[in-house]
Amino acid sequence: MKKEHSLSAGEELVDALMTTSFITMAIINKIGAEHDLSLSLIRVLGILWDRRPRMTELADYLGLEKQTMSGLIARAEKRGLVVRAACKDDGRATEVFLTKEGAELVKQLRDQGQQALMPLIESLNASDQQRLQELLLRMLNAKGARGN
Amino acid sequence: MKKEHSLSAGEELVDALMTTSFITMAIINKIGAEHDLSLSLIRVLGILWDRRPRMTELADYLGLEKQTMSGLIARAEKRGLVVRAACKDDGRATEVFLTKEGAELVKQLRDQGQQALMPLIESLNASDQQRLQELLLRMLNAKGARGN
DNA sequence: TATTGTTATACTCTATAACTATA
DNA sequence: TATAGTTATAGAGTATAACAATA
């Protein structure tokens, strides 16, 4: 957060990573706001794109409490973006999945996100973009990271 | 968000950037939660580390409405983290700055953030870390980006 | 008893609208 | 009139606690 103090090599990278992330999230958040979507709901919809998880799985995935997820999904369902259905294997569980309308919204968000972030990455030339991508992917894969 | 579909080179990089950012923000958010701090308040405190901005400047910086900033700062002031003072140049304006307690919290957050993000970046070797840092900084500087 | 999920309650964050005070 | 800031109000997001239904 502070630039004047001398930082170790690792600290400078952490700084750059945080700044990059704040900027990226601000861009995504702005796109979400245009659709009345919070960052959490954007992540949920992204997960639902190719999965049909239970409420608890979703909550764990996002690091939220199950009650929080109940509210989030209830509001999304009221808007026609997702549907809840009883799980056949386990009478206690509830599965969540996208409606057609929800899926279309995800597609649209994807496109808008790509467009909005393009200016940032296009400040690097093609070979640097390639290198950055490789480094990020290597870092993410090493951590067994799950983004959304 | 989806991995199976074929993506153009730029799209894959955007994907990696978003995933990295979601993970980074989740880590920062978790640290903030331990101190009852939202991401917005963390950013505000970071800005206040070496600046003494007016309310409107803060709001513009974070992309929030001035009323939102009023509430955010009012709560932070009640907790003893920041102080508001009348601006001498302009009788309408209010300057905000950190208390000693607030500054100590920022220092602590910095350390915790560094520690928490270290495992992620240490999945790369030293030379790759150096390269990643250079690429991120070049990208950020090209955009005249302001993280916090 | 333990697990899955919802409901009740409370607080933070955010925006829109209306207001006060200064320029 | 325009700008800086606060207050009032309302809704979304979050957590803690208590509950119902199923395993």
Write the burial class of residue B89 (CB in 10 Å: 0-12 exposed, 13-18 middle, 19+ buried).
Answer: exposed
What integer pLDDT is reported at residue A44 of this predicted model?
97
What integer pLDDT is reported at residue A143 of this predicted model?
63
Min distance B82 CA to chain A CA atoms (Å): 17
What integer pLDDT is reported at residue B7 of this predicted model?
57
Lookup: tokens for A141 = 């894969």
Q: For the CA atoms of chain A, what is the radius of gyration?
A: 18
Asked whether residue A62 is assigned to any structural domain, the reply reads yes
Residues whose CB is below 7 A of strand C:
A 33, 54-57, 66-67, 69-71, 73-74, 84, 87, 90, 92-95; B 37-41, 63-65, 67-68, 71-72, 75, 90-92
What integer pLDDT is reported at residue B72 of this predicted model?
98
Asked whether residue A7 is assigned to any structural domain, the reply reads no
Q: Count of alpha carbons within 13 Å of A27, Cβ hemisphere only?
A: 25
Supply the CATH number for residue B36's domain: 1.10.10.10
Is any Cβ of chain B less than 8 angstroms from the Cβ of A9? yes
Asked whether residue B7 is assigned to any structural domain, the reply reads no
Asked whether residue B70 is assigned to any structural domain, the reply reads yes
Strand D bases within 7 angstroms of protein beta carbons: 3-9, 12-18, 21-23
What's the CA gap between B63 and A26, in Å, rounded?
A: 8
In the predicted model, residues of chain A with pLDDT beneath 50 are 1-5, 145-148
Which residues have C-beta within 8 Å of that of residue A11, sequence separation ≥ 6? Answer: B114
- Residue B11: pLDDT band (50, 70, 90) is confident
Asked whether residue B5 is assigned to any structural domain, the reply reads no
Asked whether residue A107 is assigned to any structural domain, the reply reads yes
Asked whether residue B4 is assigned to any structural domain, the reply reads no
Average pLDDT rounded to a whole number, residues B66-88: 98
Asked whether residue A4 is assigned to any structural domain, the reply reads no
Structurally, how many domains does chain A consist of?
1
pLDDT tens across A42-85, in order? Answer: 999 999 999 999 999 999 999 999 999 999 999 999 999 999 99
What integer pLDDT is reported at residue A29 of this predicted model?
94
Nearest to B29 by CA among A64, A14, A56, A9: A64
Q: What are the residue ranges of helices labelled H in A35-99?
A: 39-48, 55-62, 66-78
pLDDT tens across B43-54, in order? Answer: 999 999 999 999
Question: Range of B61's domain?
Answer: 14-141
